[in-house]
């Protein structure tokens, strides 16, 4: 990663403070096997993914987009990670349709 200027470091710190410590996310697996998420903590933003891993990536991307994080500062932003229980319930077992409310803690 490129070295940041003092102004960029200040901006990174300001943006990181905007990220809630936890996200409330409603996730479901639909009949075609794809996944949908609704980020309740941020005005019900919706996103989707072809698999559970991609869904989590898209949730993190949606949060960064919501807070208008400049592309250059994306590597310095935290990511939310799901609890193992949610991954097992939504991804591992061949269930046709499941809905799960999940709290995603902020990884530092």
Q: Is residue 9 part of a domain?
A: no
Q: What's the confidence (pLDDT) of residue 46?
A: 97
Q: Is residue 26 part of a domain?
A: yes
User: How many structural domains is the chain composed of?
Assistant: 1
**Model pTM?**
0.81
Q: Which two tokens stand for residue 105?
A: 């803690």
- Which H or E run includes 38? strand 35-39
Secondary structure of 1-34 in HEC code, one letter for each residue? CCCCCHHHHHHHHHHHHHCCCEEEEEEEECCCCC
The DSSP line for 39-98 is: EGGGTTEEEEESSHHHHHHHHHHHHHHHTT--GGGGGGS-EE---HHHHIIIIIS--S-E
Arithmetic mean of pLDDT over the chain = 89
Q: Is residue 96 part of a domain?
A: yes
Q: Which two tokens stand for residue 9?
A: 């470091």
Domain with 59, as residue range(s), is 19-107
pLDDT in tens, 35-74: 999 999 999 899 999 998 999 999 999 999 999 999 999 9
Q: Rounded to 5 degrees, what are φ and ψ at 38? A: -125, 115
Whether 11 shows a pLDDT value over 70: the answer reads yes
Q: What's the confidence (pLDDT) of residue 98?
A: 62
């Amino acid at each position: 990663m490129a070295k940041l200027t003092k102004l960029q470091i200040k901006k990174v710190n300001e943006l990181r403070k905007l990220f809630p410590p936890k996200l409330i996310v409603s996730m479901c697996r639909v009949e075609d096997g794809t996944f949908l998420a609704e980020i309740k903590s941020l005005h019900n933003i919706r996103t989707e993914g072809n698999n559970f891993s991609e869904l989590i990536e898209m949730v993190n991307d949606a949060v960064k987009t919501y807070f208008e994080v400049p592309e250059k500062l994306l590597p310095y932003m935290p990511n939310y990670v799901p609890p193992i229980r949610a991954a097992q319930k939504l991804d591992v077992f061949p269930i046709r349709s499941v809905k799960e409310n999940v709290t995603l803690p902020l990884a530092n």
